[in-house]
Chain A
Amino acid sequence: MSTQSTVHGRSGLGTPTPAVIPGAVLWAAALLLAVLAPFALYPVFLMKVLCFALFACAFNLLIGFAGLMSFGHAAFFGGAAYVTAHAAKVWALPPEFAILAGVGTATLLGLVFGALAIRRQGIYFAMITLALSQMVFFLALQLPFTGGEDGIQGVPRGRLFGLVDLTDPLAMYYAVLALFLSGFLVIRRAVHSPFGQVLKAIRENEPRAVSLGYRTERYKLLAFVLSASLAGLAGSVKALVFQLATLTDVTWQMSGEVVLMTLLGGMGTLLGPVVGAALVVALESYLAETSLPVPVVIGAIFVFCVLLFRKGIVGEIAGILKRRA
């Protein structure tokens, strides 16, 4: 854990080190790549990657920086997706308000989940979040507005701010990219702020943080709520991208999938979850048309990664670069 904190400290943008110029160039190149990507790759696939990348980043904020292992993040992701889908379809809200409604729901859920779960630690924390998210799953299965196992289908994408027609794949892609970047920057800002430093202190040694006079409960709750609302943002956007909300997004398997993405990419690094999400989504999409059993392949890759590079893909690369330097 302690090695990782130094790794992500270096990999961040704008840290006042001599590496600042190559770092900025690298980020600019990544941004340019993201802007040009829909001309080379299928936009819907890229949008899915961005949604899951944001979801994994939000999850990573909690486990990677605050050391809190939530096993109920699907509730925020899927819950927000349902509310956004319902708001856009039945209440006919414009997309920006539909997304806001979804994020608001996720934030409230996060507040309730967080207030209950942070009273316990470790496996008990994970189990409480799992139990609460199963309640959300039950509601999604039973409430009349969710359409049970059929889900909410045919959600209109609408016009963003009444101006941009989101039915155009490119317009939708850039809207998703903008939302992803704002979510990512919020996480980056939080991690590099004094608040983020306290989170890391709690992760390393909570009693010591308490002894230094920090009210760790409040920090943990804030981190939890922030993570929940960003996961909600990802779910809301996904509902508009695919124009549907189904049980897949609220099952406990989805909570597991986000753990998988984060671990594969590199827990506690800023870019790791993005890489992990891209890898898992790409495997799911491109293996779908082959005759290989997808879950088995993804499972094997996961085992392989966990055994060979425990810090995840980005974590290992950052480690190598650091050793070279």
Chain B
Amino acid sequence: MRNHVGALSAAALCLWMSAPQAHAQPAAVSDGVVRVGVIEDMSGVFASITGQGAVTAAAMAIEEFGGKVLGLPVELLHADHQNKADIGAATARKWFDEDKVDAILDVATSSPALAVLEIAKAKKKILTLSSPGSMRITNEACGPYVAHWAYDSYAVAHGTGNTLVKQGLDSWYFVTADYAFGHSLEKDAGDFVTASGGKVLGSIRHPVGTNDFASALLQVQASKAKVVALANAGGDTMNAIKQATEFGLTDGGQRLAALAGMINDVHGLGLLGARGLIITEAVYWDMNDETRAWSQRFFQRVKAMPNMLQAGVYSSVRHYLRAVQAAGTDETDAVMRKMREIPVNDVFFKNGYIRKDGRMVHDMHLFEVKQPSDSKGPWDYYRLINTIPAEEAFQPLSTSRCPLVKN
């Protein structure tokens, strides 16, 4: 009798415990949770443009779904790769192998991102990238489950190069950081300038992390080029802009374009230092009511307005969850098929779509930094000069070196 009771209660306990699993079965979600992760630079030089802002953007996308998709909880993991590719790679491997992460939806900076990309390809998991700009992601390294989201170096070089020449600013001089990223920016932008009928008068290279742009700027001023393009990033861009303003470059009628600039750089420099600067970005917080409302909520949590990387993380997480919902599962193939099928439509990106090579195609915008007198307050920095339509903004599929395109 006692045994009976024991067996019965054990059976009841089993039934009760297995009940939620039984509910989860039809949804076909692995281990009853949709787990996504982002790997950012949380404490280094890129922490302000990716970091906590990117994590918050991902969290806001999940909150939009009430923290649930298909009735099951969505869990967000984040990690700090400390700008080391091996930490990024080890984290991604562990997430996929042990923590049952279903997709990684951003990895900051190119070398950790490319490392995670190889792992995602091998493990057949979805990876979207907003923060890195390397063209390798949609060319040599492309993969069937990889999407490159917010921008790439082609898009910013093209947006700035092409548009300015068409506006009559047809003679260019480059100030280029002496490493692969700088060289490729200079080459891409230079090609667009000459292709649209402009002229590249010359370029001057500087070592990465230099403090002194004086000789470069004097040479640039003497060249009388209409556009001075900065093919560098981060601290180098900031220093170059600051010193260019001190040298009276923009006051002398030359235009300064930061090819890899972002709104955070403008905020760091202040309007007095950055006035007149030209920047290509995919989004701006102050575009319409929708973007303003979202960005205000973002601002309350991060104390900064979102840049295109962070907006991209929000967009890709949201799109991933929509695809999971539509597919009724978190199985990689089914979700990726839906991600390619459904257009990307959210606060920042309208009618975007993922191409064969993994490029998420959307409009890009060319902005000019306002004069201090025109700005109404903090973060009121950009004036829209031009919108580059989606079809023109990115590398044409015909020139892609991605093996998936040819098949």
Instruction: Mark A residues whose CB is within 8 Å of B.
Output: 42, 44-45, 48, 141-142, 147-151, 153-154, 238, 242-244, 246-248, 284-285, 287-289, 291, 293-296
With A142-B179, A148-B179, A149-B180 already in contact, the answer to whether A242 and B136 are too (CB < 8 A) is no
Could you write out 9 A-B pairs with CB less than 8 Å apart?
Answer: A44-B93, A141-B180, A148-B179, A149-B111, A244-B86, A244-B89, A248-B84, A288-B82, A293-B42
Name the interface size band of chain B.
35 or more
- Report chain B residues within 8 Å CB of A293: 42-43
> C-beta contact mask, B85-102 vs A, less than 8 Å → 1, else 0?
111011101100110000
User: Is there contact, CB below 8 Å, between A45 and B94?
Assistant: yes
User: A290 → chain B, closest Cβ, in Å?
Assistant: 8
User: Is there contact, CB below 8 Å, between A153 and B141?
Assistant: yes
In the assembled complex, the Cα of A242 lies from the Cα of B80 at a distance in Å of 17
User: Is there contact, CB below 8 Å, between A244 and B118?
Assistant: yes
User: Is there contact, CB below 8 Å, between A149 and B86?
Assistant: no
With A42-B97, A42-B98, A242-B115 already in contact, the answer to whether A289 and B91 are too (CB < 8 A) is yes
In the assembled complex, the Cα of A247 lies from the Cα of B43 at a distance in Å of 18
- Chain B residues numbered 310-342 whose CB sits less than 8 Å from any CB in chain A: none
- Report chain A residues within 8 Å CB of B82: 284, 288, 294-295
- Chain B residues numbered 48-100 whose CB sits less than 8 Å from any CB in chain A: 77-87, 89-91, 93-94, 97-98
User: Is there contact, CB below 8 Å, between B93 and A148?
Assistant: no
User: Is there contact, CB below 8 Å, between B87 and A289?
Assistant: no
- Report chain A residues within 8 Å CB of B77: 289
In the assembled complex, the Cα of A143 lies from the Cα of B141 at a distance in Å of 20
User: Is there contact, CB below 8 Å, between B98 and A285?
Assistant: no
In the assembled complex, the Cα of A48 lies from the Cα of B94 at a distance in Å of 13
In the assembled complex, the Cα of A154 lies from the Cα of B181 at a distance in Å of 20
In the assembled complex, the Cα of A243 lies from the Cα of B116 at a distance in Å of 11
- Report chain A residues within 8 Å CB of B91: 285, 288-289
User: Is there contact, CB below 8 Å, between B141 and A154?
Assistant: yes
With A150-B110, A294-B43 already in contact, the answer to whether A242 and B90 are too (CB < 8 A) is yes
User: Is there contact, CB below 8 Å, between A288 and B81?
Assistant: yes
- Report chain A residues within 8 Å CB of B79: 288-289
User: Is there contact, CB below 8 Å, between A242 and B180?
Assistant: no
User: Is there contact, CB below 8 Å, between B43 and A149?
Assistant: no
B176 at the interface (CB under 8 A from A): no
User: Is there contact, CB below 8 Å, between B110 and A242?
Assistant: no
With A288-B81, A296-B43 already in contact, the answer to whether A153 and B94 are too (CB < 8 A) is no
User: A23 → chain B, closest Cβ, in Å?
Assistant: 34
Q: Which of B44, B85, B97 contacts A244 (CB 8 A)?
A: B85
- Report chain B residues within 8 Å CB of A149: 110-111, 179-181
- Report chain B residues within 8 Å CB of A153: 111, 114-115, 117-118, 141
In the assembled complex, the Cα of A247 lies from the Cα of B111 at a distance in Å of 9
User: Is there contact, CB below 8 Å, between A150 and B87?
Assistant: no
Besides A242-B89, A246-B85, 15 more A-B contacts (Cβ < 8 Å) are A42-B97, A44-B90, A44-B94, A45-B90, A142-B178, A149-B111, A154-B141, A242-B85, A242-B86, A244-B89, A244-B118, A248-B111, A288-B82, A289-B91, A294-B82
In the assembled complex, the Cα of A285 lies from the Cα of B141 at a distance in Å of 26
In the assembled complex, the Cα of A149 lies from the Cα of B179 at a distance in Å of 8
Of chain B, the residue at the smallest CB distance from A244 is: B115
Q: Which of A42, A148, A243, A287 contacts B181 (CB 8 A)?
A: A148
- Report chain B residues within 8 Å CB of A141: 179-180, 208
User: Is there contact, CB below 8 Å, between A150 and B114?
Assistant: yes
User: B236 → chain A, closest Cβ, in Å?
Assistant: 13
In the assembled complex, the Cα of A206 lies from the Cα of B85 at a distance in Å of 41
In the assembled complex, the Cα of A100 lies from the Cα of B106 at a distance in Å of 36
B134 at the interface (CB under 8 A from A): yes
Of chain B, the residue at the smallest CB distance from A239 is: B86
> C-beta contact mask, B163-186 vs A, less than 8 Å → 1, else 0?
000000000000000111100000
User: Is there contact, CB below 8 Å, between B136 and A150?
Assistant: yes
- Report chain B residues within 8 Å CB of A48: 86, 90
- Report chain B residues within 8 Å CB of A296: 43
User: Is there contact, CB below 8 Å, between A151 and B111?
Assistant: yes
In the assembled complex, the Cα of A242 lies from the Cα of B114 at a distance in Å of 12
- Report chain B residues within 8 Å CB of A285: 87, 90-91
User: Is there contact, CB below 8 Å, between A150 and B118?
Assistant: no
- Report chain A residues within 8 Å CB of B94: 42, 44-45
- Report chain A residues within 8 Å CB of B89: 242-244
Of chain B, the residue at the smallest CB distance from A153 is: B114
In the assembled complex, the Cα of A149 lies from the Cα of B234 at a distance in Å of 14
User: Is there contact, CB below 8 Å, between B180 and A151?
Assistant: no
Identify the interface centre among A45, A244, A284, A295: most chain B CB within 10 Å of its CB.
A244
- Report chain A residues within 8 Å CB of B134: 150
User: Is there contact, CB below 8 Å, between B141 and A246?
Assistant: no
In the assembled complex, the Cα of A291 lies from the Cα of B42 at a distance in Å of 8
Of chain B, the residue at the smallest CB distance from A287 is: B80
Of chain B, the residue at the smallest CB distance from A146 is: B180
Of chain B, the residue at the smallest CB distance from A295 is: B43
- Report chain B residues within 8 Å CB of A244: 85-86, 89, 111, 114-115, 118
User: A163 → chain B, closest Cβ, in Å?
Assistant: 22
4 A-B pairs with least C-beta separation? A148-B180, A293-B43, A246-B85, A154-B118
- Report chain A residues within 8 Å CB of B84: 246, 248, 284
